[in-house]
Amino acid sequence: MIRVVAVGRKHEDWVEPGISRYEKRLRQPWNVRWDLVPHSSLREDLARSHESEALLSRLNSDDFVILLDEIGKSLDSPALSNLIEDQFNHSKTPCFVVGGAYGVDERLHKRADMVLSLSKLVLPHQLVRLVLIEQIYRAEQIAKGSDYHHK
């Protein structure tokens, strides 16, 4: 199983059908479990600290933590597929972390096994969820050797 730990409320109506579409296609161990933590009512540094604490509390010792951040490393889809497969082979749980509007603090950066950028652009969190689930599905299809991903 792949985990996504994210700040925010449930999937919004406009993004839910897309997320659901890919969730239904994913098969073990590529299926995704969402773990959402509420936004902080605080601002800036305090919100970042509060939300980071909540995110950290949801992480397990066997998680391979992939923190999503626009300043992270860029991977192409085959490399992401290999990364996820590698974690399955090492009995680790790939766990993607999506911070709140103010990002995450240094504690979460230190806990992360990898900081990954989906784009150099700043994307709204609901859109990140949709892009991420599609990329997980694409990674699964690459691993299976299907023709979903065109080279």
Report the domain count for the chain: 1
User: Per the structure block, which two tokens stand in for 69?
Assistant: 């951040």
Hey, how many other C-beta atoms are within 10 angstroms of the C-beta on 46?
12
Give the span between the Cα atoms of 105 and 102, in whole angstroms.
Answer: 9
Interval 101-117 mean pLDDT: 96
The CATH number of the domain holding residue 70 is: 3.40.1280.10
11-36 residue pLDDT tens: 999 999 999 999 999 999 999 999 99
78-100 residue pLDDT tens: 999 999 999 999 999 999 999 99
Q: What is the pTM of this model?
A: 0.95
User: Residue 8's domain spans which residues?
Assistant: 2-144
Task: Look at residue 150 and tell me if it is in a domain.
Answer: no
Q: What is the pLDDT of residue 21?
A: 97
Task: Look at residue 30 and tell me if it is in a domain.
Answer: yes
